[in-house]
Structure 1
Amino acid sequence: MIDENMIEMIRKAAPCMEREGRLTNEVLQYIYDKGLFKLFLPEETGGNMQPLPEALKIFEEAARADGSFGWLVQIGSGAGFFAVTMEPDEVREHFTARDFYIAGSDRPGGTARKVDDGYIVNGTWPFSSGSDHASLFTATCRIKSGDQDNGKLYAFAFTPDQVTIERDWDAFGMRATGSHTIRVEDAFVPASRRFDVTRPHFYFDDPVYHYPFRAFATANIASTAIGVARHFFEAAREHIESKKDAWGKAGSSRYGHAVEVLEKNEAAFLEARKDFYHSVEKSWKAHVSRTADAADMTDISMQSKIAARAGIRGVQNLYSYFGMDIVMRHHPLNRIYRDLLTASQHALLVDSEGELEGYQRK
C-alpha cells in the first residue's frame, strides 16, 4: 500500500511540509487515492477496512516514510472508530467523502447548552492534528442542561465553517501535523451530531470496533513511533557510511565504533518491535475468537511502551556519536530525532506511574 516510490516522494516533500507546517497537496492526494485515512471504515461507507495487525504495519510504514505523514495517517484512520458511535445518516453524509478526515480532541474543553433539536456549543481544544485539511471536527464538551444529562461529557461533531483554527502548533517535532488549537463559539450542533465514544452503538460493525479502545489507541500510536525509529536507524546507517573515509583518517576507530553502536541498539529495538507485534497478533486472535482477557490488553499497553522506549534509547545513544553535522534543524536525522521524541510524549506511551519496571520483572 505504501511502496518505496511513494516513500521517496513523501521524503522529498518532508522539508517543505515541515516549513509549511502541513502536508502538501500531492501527499494529501496520495492519501485520498489509497484510502489511508479510512483503514477502519467499512466498505459500505467508502472505507478501506483492515484488521488491526495489518493496519498497524501500514501506520509503521507511513511513519517510516515521514513522522508527520505517519502520525496523520494513524490519527485519521483512528477516527473511523467514531462510525459506530455517531448516527448512521451523519456517518453516510460525512465519512463517505473522498477527502474525509476528522481532527479533534478528547479533552473536555467545551460546554454544550441544550436547546430545541440540539445544542449551543462553546469551547477551545488544543492539539487537533490535521486541522488544516479536516472535513469534520470533533471535541468533548460538558453538558449544561436542567435534566439528567447535566454535567455529563459527550463528544460533538462540527463542520469546518463552525470552527476557528488558532495556528499555534510550534512544537519541537511533528511540525507538519498542523496540531493546532480549535475554537467554537455559539455553534449550533444538532442532536444527531452528539455522540458518546464510551458507548458505541455498532450501527456499522467489524471486529476492530469491539477491540478495547485504550489498547487500540495505544497500539496505533506505538506503531507510529516504531516507524519513526526505524527511519532513524536506516538514515543513521547511511550517514555513518557517508562518513567512513572522514572518520577513518589518522587511524581513528570512530567509524567502526559508530557501526557497533548502531548494530547493538538497532538489534535491541528490533527485538522490542518483534515482541510488540507478537503481543498484537496474540491479542487480536484472542479477540476474534472471543477469548481475550484483561491480561492481553495490559500486554499491548506495556509492549507499546517498551518498544517506544527501546527506539528512543537507541536513537539517543546513536545521536550522541554524530557531532555537529546533525545539529542543524534542516538535517534529516535532526528532523527524524525530533519527530520521535515528540510522538513518544503522547500520554499513552509515557510510563508515568512506573508500571514498566514491575511488568518487566515478571
Structure 2
Amino acid sequence: MTTLLEPTSSQDQGNDSSSVLGRVRAHLPEIAARSAEAEAARAVPAEIITALREAGVFRMALPKAWGGEQLDLVDAARVVQEISRADGSTGWTVQAASMAWFFVRSLPQETLEKEVFGDGADLMLRGAIAPKGKATPVEGGYRLSGRWPLASGSFTPDWMLAGFVVEGAPPLPDGRPDMRVALIRPEQVTFLDTWEAVGLRATQSTDFTMDDVFVPERFTGPLVGDNNIPAPFYGLPYTATGASHDAVILGCLEGALDDLAELAAAKRPAFNPRVVIGEDPVFQEKFAELHLRTAALNALLEQTGRVVMDRALAGEEPTSLEWFSYTGGHQHIHHEGIRILNEVMTLSGSAGLYSSNPMQRRWRDVRCVSQHVAGNNGSLRKLGAVLSGQGDAR
C-alpha cells in the first residue's frame, strides 16, 4: 500500500501496539479478507465486531474519566480511515457507533455519568438523530412514537438514540419546534429489515420504530444543547463529527488506489498484450494525479481538523473562517471523493466491473457516503460568504 502523505497523529498512536490504532491494525487483514462475505451477509461478521470492540474503537471518542480512550476528532478519524481502507462497511459501522455519543451530550450529566456510563464506556450505540419521532409530554417524561431510518450498526446495541419533536410545545426562541433526543433501551424498539442499498451493504442501516414508549425526562436532552460530556471534542459546535464521514471516503479511496496499482501491474491491454497498463505513460500521469488529489483531501482534513480541535482543547470556539473551512471541507471531500473514484473506475476498464473486484464495492460505498447530509451541508456557501466579506454567516 502506498500513501503519498502519511497522516500525523497528536499521540503518534499508529506506532504503539497498545493504542487503539495499533490494536486495530492487527485486524485489518481479516477485515479486508472478509469484506465480500460481509456484503453478501449484509452484516459485518460478529467476530470482527467483537475484535474491534476489544480494540477500543467504540469507546475511542469517549472521555477517559468514564473509561473511554478520548481520542480527538482527527485521531479518531484516522482509525476509521484505516478500517475503511480494508472495508467501507466496517469503517462506516465504526464511525457511526463511535461518533453517535456526540449527539446525546445534552442529556443530564448525572444520567450520563451514573446510569449510562456508570459501569464503563465499553458500550454500543445505534440510532438516528433526525427528529422523526413525535412525543407527548406526560408526568416524568414523554410517550414516544415514530419511525426512524438509517440506524447503522450490524450489532446488538446497549442503547438506542432517537431524535423527536415534542408535540404541543411552544416554538424555541429561533422559531424552530422543540426538538429533543432520547436514549432508549434496544428492547423498546422494533427493527425493520429495510437496508437494501447500492453500497455500505454490510452496515444494516435499517429503520426502527417505537409505539407509545415511555421515556423518562432524565434520558432526554435538547437536540442542540449544552455539553455534559467531559471531553474537549464534545464542546465543539453541532455537526463536529463530519471528519469521521470524510475518513470513510478517504479510506475507500486509498483502498481503490491500491486495487488499481495491483491491476496496473498485471493487466495487459487486449490489443497490445506485450505490456501491462502500468507501463502506459498516459496511465502513469493520470494515476499520479489521482494520488495527489487524494493526498490533498487528506491534508485538508488533517489541517482543518487540527485547527478546530486545538480551539476545543483551549476551551475556545473556532472562528467562522475556521469552522466553515472544516465543515466546508467535508462537503468538498464528499464531492471530490466520488469524482476521484469515478476516474479510478474508468482507468480500471472492464476489470473494475466484476463483483470479485473490491474496487467496485469501494466505488458503491463512497457513492452512498457522498449522499449523506454531512457532505451536503451548505458550508461551502457559508465559507464563501465569509471569504467574500459578507460577515459571519452562522
> How does the TM-score come out when normalised to structure 2?
0.82
Higher deviation after alignment, 104-113 or 320-329: 320-329
2:267 corresponds to = 243
RMSD (Å), alpha carbons = 2.9
SS at match of 1:134: coil
| 1:273 is the counterpart of 2:274 | no
Residues 268 and 275, structure 2, Cα contact 8 Å, conserved in 1: no
1:327 corresponds to = 353
SS at match of 2:374: coil
Pair 291,213 (structure 1): closer, same or farther in 2 beyond 3 Å:
closer
Q: State the Cα distance separating 1:318 from its structure 2 match.
A: 2.0
1:317 corresponds to = 343
Residues 134 and 145, structure 2, Cα contact 8 Å, conserved in 1: yes
Pair 151,312 (structure 1): closer, same or farther in 2 beyond 3 Å:
closer
Q: Residues 82-105 of structure 1: CA distance to partner in whole angstroms, max 9, x if unpaired?
A: 453223454343345675222111
Q: State the Cα distance separating 1:81 from its structure 2 match.
A: 1.9
| 1:94 is the counterpart of 2:120 | no
Q: State the Cα distance separating 1:311 from its structure 2 match.
A: 2.5
Higher deviation after alignment, 106-115 or 88-97: 88-97
Q: Residues 273-329 of structure 1: CA distance to partner in whole angstroms, max 9, x if unpaired?
A: 212211221232234333631110000012222233333222211211322222233
The letter of the residue matching 1:303 is: G
Residues 66 and 121, structure 2, Cα contact 8 Å, conserved in 1: no
- 1:116 aligned residue (139, 143, 149): 139
| 1:36 is the counterpart of 2:36 | no
| 1:18 is the counterpart of 2:16 | no
Higher deviation after alignment, 301-310 or 173-182: 301-310
List gaps (5 residues or longer) in structure 1: none
Pair 360,259 (structure 1): closer, same or farther in 2 beyond 3 Å:
farther
Higher deviation after alignment, 103-112 or 193-202: 193-202
- 2:325 aligned residue (296, 299, 303): 299
| 1:189 is the counterpart of 2:230 | no
Residues 328 and 379, structure 2, Cα contact 8 Å, conserved in 1: no
Matches of residues 171-186 of structure 1 in structure 2 within 5 Å? Answer: 171-186=197-212
The letter of the residue matching 1:261 is: K
SS at match of 2:80: helix
2:79 corresponds to = 58
SS at match of 2:342: helix
Q: State the Cα distance separating 1:111 from its structure 2 match.
A: 1.0
The letter of the residue matching 2:231 is: D
| 1:157 is the counterpart of 2:183 | yes
2:17 corresponds to = none
The letter of the residue matching 1:46 is: G
1:213 corresponds to = 238
Distance 1:54 1:254 in 2: 34
Residues 304 and 349, structure 1, Cα contact 8 Å, conserved in 2: yes
Distance 2:86 2:133 in 1: 36
| 1:232 is the counterpart of 2:256 | yes
Distance 1:51 1:99 in 2: 18
Higher deviation after alignment, 308-317 or 242-251: 242-251
Distance 2:147 2:259 in 1: 39
List gaps (5 residues or longer) in structure 2: 1-20, 389-394
Q: How many residues align?
A: 360
2:156 corresponds to = 133
Pair 359,117 (structure 1): closer, same or farther in 2 beyond 3 Å:
closer
Distance 1:230 1:88 in 2: 40
Higher deviation after alignment, 101-110 or 66-75: 101-110
Percent of aligned pairs with the same amino acid: 22
> How does the TM-score come out when normalised to structure 1?
0.89
2:371 corresponds to = 345
2:10 corresponds to = none
